[in-house]
């Protein structure tokens, strides 16, 4: 019997994939996989499964969304079980909602298997909690680029005084930082940018908002990356300073 799943593969480290995700992946006849998924995750797929790489990575060529949906529908209608495998969580900037709508419109039920989103995992990887009683009573996940829906209301986001976690914002980081400053955010607001979080190649840069874009450029960071803006980032800054002091003492 054919089935469809929208599966979150987590932030990168294969050990952060959920048990439910591995079990669902092991049942699929066809796996449509995004570029940001760690290839090691495919060890949980059946040996005879058809694996189709469909791209979907910000700033890079990728398979059109309509074509991905068409492939899913074609396979399910042919009696095959299909797993749509995405980095992070399928419902957090993963277009999982759009794919669920398309499948439901075609009369096909789909099971959503959540994954750990990079917006939580990346900050945690360098010691940043996205919420903290002393720094932020909430967190806002926001995309650094839009799909025809206009810019986020950065001034309103600044007014929330919550942690800002920005996905897909590296190419526009200088513009974003400038807009936040113009909206009244303090230039000394702690920030972090984390590239390839939870993977062996993980790197990060720590800076205040006024110098964030320059710090990222000096470190040579690129996508995929998460940017954290707010008082909680000071916890990583404090840890980095403590580590530097300890190294100097030795």
Round to whole Å and give the CA distance between 33 and 38.
10
Residue 74's contacts (CB-CB under 8 Å, 6 or more residues apart) are none
Residues belonging to the active site: 34, 56, 168
Q: Map residue 132 onto helix, strand or coil.
A: strand
Summary count for the chain: helices (H), strands (E):
8, 10
Total length of the chain: 250
Q: HEC string of 54-112? A: EECCCCCCCCCHHHHHHHHHHHHHCCCCEEEEECECCCCCCCHHHHHHHHHHCCCCCEE
**DSSP secondary structure letter of residue 15:** G
Element (H, E) at 206: strand 203-208
Distance CA 148, CA 162 (A): 25
Pairing label, strands 82-86, 4-8: parallel
From CA 86, how far away is CA 91, in angstroms rounded?
A: 10
């Amino acid at each position: 019997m054919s089935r469809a799943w929208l599966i979150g593969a987590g932030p990168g480290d294969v050990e952060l994939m959920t048990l439910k995700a591995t079990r669902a992946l092991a049942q699929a006849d066809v796996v449509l996989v995004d570029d940001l998924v760690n290839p090691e995750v495919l060890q949980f797929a059946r040996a005879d499964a058809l694996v189709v790489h469909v791209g979907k990575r910000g700033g890079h060529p990728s398979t059109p969304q309509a074509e991905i949906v068409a492939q899913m529908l074609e396979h399910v209608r042919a009696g095959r079980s299909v797993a749509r495998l995405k980095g992070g969580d399928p419902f957090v900037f993963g277009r999982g909602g759009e794919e669920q709508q398309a499948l439901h419109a075609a009369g096909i039920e789909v099971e959503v298997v959540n994954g750990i989103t990079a917006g939580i995992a990346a900050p945690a990887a360098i010691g940043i909690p996205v919420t903290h009683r002393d720094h932020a009573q909430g967190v806002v996940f926001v995309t650094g680029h839009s799909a025809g829906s206009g810019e986020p209301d950065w001034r309103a986001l600044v007014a929330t005084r919550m942690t800002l976690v920005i996905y897909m914002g590296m190419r526009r980081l200088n513009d974003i930082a400038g807009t936040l400053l113009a909206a009244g955010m303090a230039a000394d607001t702690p920030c972090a940018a984390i590239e390839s979080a939870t993977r062996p190649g993980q790197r990060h840069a720590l800076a205040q908002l006024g110098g964030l874009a320059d710090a990222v450029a000096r470190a040579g960071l690129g996508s995929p990356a998460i940017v954290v803006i707010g008082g909680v980032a000071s916890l990583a800054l404090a840890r980095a300073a403590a580590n530097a002091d300890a190294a100097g003492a030795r």
